[in-house]
């Protein structure tokens, strides 16, 4: 022993020191790596046990690539307030200005999830942003949040324009954002965050937003969607970076209403043609296609958490019509429905049986606005075959998109909450839909959540409430036509009594 220690001490003191220093260095490097791994390696979404809460606030995985660092997110409406008109009256809940919903005094709206990722809490959209809305009985009533219904108040185009114009603004820089974050966070920003993490994050977010802006800008130059609508496949083309400047104008407008998304089970079982033009028959594929809108790509999709939502939506039912229904009138309406509507729209609000339910009616026959149909091209459908390729699970790759030549006949579950009607939301109420197009409203307002029990739909005649103005929908604008779904077969020639009875019956759906 001693001999050995002498050997160490006397003959090779330098060597021993060297080894010791080396070991200490190694330990230090290891320690730093572990600390960094702990600080930046976590990938943990905020979890919700309750499935409805998960739907409203849970993660689809999109934050991993698209997620805004929480504090940048909170600072943006202040940095770019001028690009979000009306937001100042909602401090901390600024996105109310574009129709986003906030429960109580929550800091994030319905439809935003949070995930710890790359050492930051990152936030981004989830399914609920487009598929949750509110209903009020009267202007002085309390808005009731209903999940799964079309997001009738959310102006997604205004939201996207806000983000993109903000990203292009000189103020989207550490000099402007970091002091704001410092203030918002109660001056608790740590040095590492302040000088390293956030400046880098700001650069990364700006880079990503500008990349998206480059691809989406041409779509955002189309006529305003207004609240409750989106150009789904215009967005898909943007992701493919199609050179839309070389496309015919007939392909450029594909704006449609957000759909309701409850009761997917029967749709799946009956292999219905999903989407407004019935371009896909596979529920899971349709879902993952929609999830691109939440930033979820093959690389970022949180498969386990999306599955939870997917399963829940299979059987999730719409809420029943909460207002009085005239039963004898509704009973009379049932026979009108059976004669005119059931073949295409199903036996009733829960049974979707019928020879043509979930199938496409040719455009020449249905004759509704053709823009959405024409915007979805065969060339897009085949390019979608490449989505989710090579993920390791060959079943994930998209293979069910098809070009169709008409619009799909939808089941009518929860119809009362799905106003305005037709694929482009061009007819405010059910009662209006039973009029020939010449007698349907030519302009009306969208985005209001007070219910119109007489005509069944939302009140569409108010232009503003407490300083919040609603979107004036003009049916003369390209893509907004309210023609079609009319004539003898569609009930627009029925006597007034029958129309009233039919509308009464449709309340039960």
- Our CB check for other proteins shows the closer of 186 and 248 to be 248
- Our CB check for other proteins shows the closer of 213 and 251 to be 251
Is the peptide bond between 405 and the residue preceding it cis, with omega within 30 degrees of 0? no
C-alpha to C-alpha distance for 490 and 175, rounded to whole angstroms: 60
Query: To the nearest whole angstrom, how small is the minimum distance from the Cβ of residue 162 to other proteins?
Result: 23
The beta-carbon contacts of 136-144 under 8 Å, at least 24 apart in sequence, are 136/449, 136/450, 136/451, 137/322, 137/323, 137/450, 137/451, 138/450, 139/450, 139/465, 141/450, 143/101, 143/449
Residue 121 bridge partners (DSSP): 116
- Our CB check for other proteins shows the closer of 104 and 248 to be 248
Query: To the nearest whole angstrom, how small is the minimum distance from the Cβ of residue 14 to other proteins?
Result: 18
- Our CB check for other proteins shows the closer of 397 and 468 to be 397
Residues lying near other proteins in the complex (CB under 8 A): 7, 65, 211, 237, 239-244, 246-251, 297-299, 377-383, 385-387, 389-391, 394, 397, 399-403, 405
Query: To the nearest whole angstrom, how small is the minimum distance from the Cβ of residue 300 to other proteins?
Result: 8
- Our CB check for other proteins shows the closer of 138 and 246 to be 246
- Our CB check for other proteins shows the closer of 241 and 351 to be 241
- Decide: 212 and 408 in contact? Cβ < 8 Å: no
Indicate the DSSP class of residue 196: I
Tokens 């150009």, located at residue:
231
Query: To the nearest whole angstrom, how small is the minimum distance from the Cβ of residue 288 to other proteins?
Result: 13
The token pair that represents 63 in the structure block: 């934050």
- Our CB check for other proteins shows the closer of 152 and 377 to be 377
Query: To the nearest whole angstrom, how small is the minimum distance from the Cβ of residue 378 to other proteins?
Result: 7
- Our CB check for other proteins shows the closer of 282 and 462 to be 282
C-alpha to C-alpha distance for 277 and 279, rounded to whole angstroms: 6
- Our CB check for other proteins shows the closer of 240 and 312 to be 240
Query: To the nearest whole angstrom, how small is the minimum distance from the Cβ of residue 394 to other proteins?
Result: 8
C-alpha to C-alpha distance for 384 and 382, rounded to whole angstroms: 5
- Our CB check for other proteins shows the closer of 387 and 506 to be 387
- DSSP track, 75-109: HHHHHTGGGSTTGGGSTT-GGGGGT----TT-SS-
- Decide: 144 and 411 in contact? Cβ < 8 Å: no
Residues 6+ away with beta carbon under 8 Å from 15: none
- Our CB check for other proteins shows the closer of 172 and 398 to be 398
Query: To the nearest whole angstrom, how small is the minimum distance from the Cβ of residue 239 to other proteins?
Result: 8
Q: How far is CA 175 from the centre of its chain?
A: 32
C-alpha to C-alpha distance for 201 and 217, rounded to whole angstroms: 23
**SS3 assignment, position 41:** coil
Query: To the nearest whole angstrom, how small is the minimum distance from the Cβ of residue 229 to other proteins?
Result: 22
The token pair that represents 280 in the structure block: 């896909």
Closest of 348, 501, 328 to residue 414, by C-alpha = 348
The CA–CA distances, whole Å, from 121 to 63, 66, 68, 215 equal 9, 12, 8, 27
Query: To the nearest whole angstrom, how small is the minimum distance from the Cβ of residue 374 to other proteins?
Result: 8
Query: To the nearest whole angstrom, how small is the minimum distance from the Cβ of residue 241 to other proteins?
Result: 5
**Helix H segments across 122-197?**
156-168, 174-184, 191-192
C-alpha to C-alpha distance for 468 and 123, rounded to whole angstroms: 26
- Our CB check for other proteins shows the closer of 224 and 251 to be 251
Query: To the nearest whole angstrom, how small is the minimum distance from the Cβ of residue 120 to other proteins?
Result: 19
Query: To the nearest whole angstrom, how small is the minimum distance from the Cβ of residue 247 to other proteins?
Result: 5
- Decide: 407 and 363 in contact? Cβ < 8 Å: yes
Pairing relationship of beta strands 406-408 and 443-446 according to DSSP bridges: unpaired
Secondary structure of 323-388 as H, E, C letters: CCCCHHHHHHHHHHHHHHCHHHHCCCCCCCCCCCCCCEEEHHHHCCCCHHHHHCCHHHHHHHCCCC
């Amino acid at each position: 022993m001693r001999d050995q220690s002498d050997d160490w001490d006397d003959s090779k003191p330098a060597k021993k020191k060297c080894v010791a220093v080396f070991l200490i260095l190694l330990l230090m490097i290891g320690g730093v790596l572990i600390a960094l791994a702990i600080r930046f390696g976590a990938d943990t979404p905020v979890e919700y046990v309750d499935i409805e809460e998960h739907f409203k606030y849970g993660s689809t995985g999109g934050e991993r690539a698209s997620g805004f660092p929480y504090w940048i997110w909170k600072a943006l409406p202040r940095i770019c307030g001028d690009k979000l008109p009306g937001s100042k009256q909602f401090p901390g809940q600024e996105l109310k200005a574009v129709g986003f919903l906030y429960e109580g005094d929550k800091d994030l709206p319905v439809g935003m999830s949070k995930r710890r990722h790359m050492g930051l809490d990152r936030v981004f959209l989830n399914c609920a942003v487009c598929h949750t809305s509110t209903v009020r009985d009267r202007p002085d009533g309390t808005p009731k949040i209903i999940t799964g219904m079309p997001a009738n108040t959310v102006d997604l185009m205004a939201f996207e324009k806000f983000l993109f114009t903000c990203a292009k603004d000189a103020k989207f820089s550490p000099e402007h954002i970091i002091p704001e974050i410092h203030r918002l966070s109660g001056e608790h920003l740590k040095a590492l965050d302040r000088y390293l993490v956030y400046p880098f994050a700001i650069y990364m977010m700006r880079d990503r937003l500008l990349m998206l802006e480059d691809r989406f800008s041409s779509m955002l130059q189309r006529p305003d969607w207004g609240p409750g609508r989106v150009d789904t496949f215009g967005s898909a083309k943007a992701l493919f970076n199609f050179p839309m400047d070389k496309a015919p104008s007939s392909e450029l407008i594909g704006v449609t209403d957000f759909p309701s998304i409850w009761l997917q089970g029967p749709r799946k079982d009956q292999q219905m043609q999903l989407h407004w033009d019935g371009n896909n028959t596979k529920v899971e594929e349709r879902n993952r296609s929609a999830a691109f809108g939440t930033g979820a790509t093959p690389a970022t999709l949180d498969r386990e958490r999306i599955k939870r939502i997917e399963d829940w939506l299979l059987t999730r039912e719409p809420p029943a019509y909460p207002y009085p229904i005239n039963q004898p009138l509704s009973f009379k309406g049932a026979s009108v429905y059976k004669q005119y509507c059931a073949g295409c729209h199903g036996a009733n609000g829960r049974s979707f049986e019928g020879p043509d339910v979930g199938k496409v009616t040719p455009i020449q026959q249905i004759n509704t606005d053709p823009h959405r149909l024409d915007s979805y091209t065969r060339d897009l459908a085949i390019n979608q075959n490449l989505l989710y390729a090579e993920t390791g699970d060959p079943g994930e790759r998209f293979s069910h998109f098809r070009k169709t030549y008409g619009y799909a006949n939808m089941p009518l579950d929860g119809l009362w909450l799905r106003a305005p009607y037709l694929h482009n939301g061009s007819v405010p109420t059910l009662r209006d839909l039973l009029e020939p197009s010449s007698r349907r409203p030519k302009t009306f307002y969208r985005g209001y959540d007070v219910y119109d029990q007489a005509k069944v739909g939302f009140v569409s005649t108010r232009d503003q409430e407490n300083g919040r103005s609603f979107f004036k929908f003009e049916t003369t604008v390209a893509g907004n036509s309210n023609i079609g779904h009319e004539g003898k077969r569609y009930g627009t020639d029925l006597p007034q009594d029958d129309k009233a009875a039919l509308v009464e019956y449709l309340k039960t759906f």
